[in-house]
Amino acid sequence: MSLHITVIQGSILDANAEVIVNAANSHGFMGGGVAGVIKRAAGIEVEQEAVKQAPIAVGRAVLTSGGKTLFKGIIHAPTMPEPGMRIPAENVSRATKAALDLADEKGFVSIAIPGMGTGVGGVEPEDAARHMIRAIRLVSPRSLQNVILVDIDAAMVAAWRNELMQPGKRPAYDA
């Protein structure tokens, strides 16, 4: 079974998915960027649930409730060991794979993922897109069927679309 990929420009909070991803740090703290947006919508209890499961190594992920959102859960997949770190692009692959594997293991059918590592992490959208799409293509899902790549940043959205349109790399995809 292959994953169906949809690319959307907008807020991850508006994604039609069972579970969303927070590009986290290993401590589980939800500061600025997408993490801050998710925390404001879901409530402080989601950060507290993530912190209780810390430390979370880069390449691992943990699941918390969706808090006050309508999502069945939030997957916290660290791209960085410490808050505010600049990261190597390889961490994007590791975090994306961890989030997808956990969503599949927990039986989710759909997942929404923002640009990973592109905020404080400092990874360029093109590099993040390449690493994220590579990680998605390597997953052999049992339950997971739909991956929604969603970001408010037009450059990130364009980078995903460009990566997906590369010759010989076309999965089922909706722009």
pLDDT 10s digits, 69-115? 999 999 999 999 999 899 999 999 999 999 999 999 999 999 999 99
Q: Write out the two tokens for 96.
A: 């994306």
pLDDT at residue 172 above 50? no
Owning domain of residue 53 = 4-174
Q: Write out the two tokens for 144.
A: 């997971």
> Any long-range contacts for 162-171 (C-beta under 8 Å, 24+ apart)?
162/126, 162/129, 163/126, 163/129, 163/130, 163/133, 164/5, 164/7, 164/133, 169/133, 169/137, 171/2, 171/3, 171/4, 171/5, 171/136, 171/137
pLDDT 10s digits, 20-60? 999 999 999 998 889 999 999 999 999 999 999 999 999 99
pLDDT 10s digits, 3-13? 999 999 999 99
Strand order in the sheet with 146-151: 62-64, 73-80, 19-25, 110-113, 146-151, 4-9, 173-174
When divided into structural domains, the chain yields a total of 1
pLDDT at residue 171 above 90? no
Give this prediction's pTM: 0.94
CATH number (domain holding residue 152): 3.40.220.10
Q: Taking a C-beta distance cutoff of 8 angstroms, is the pair 164, 23 a contact? A: no
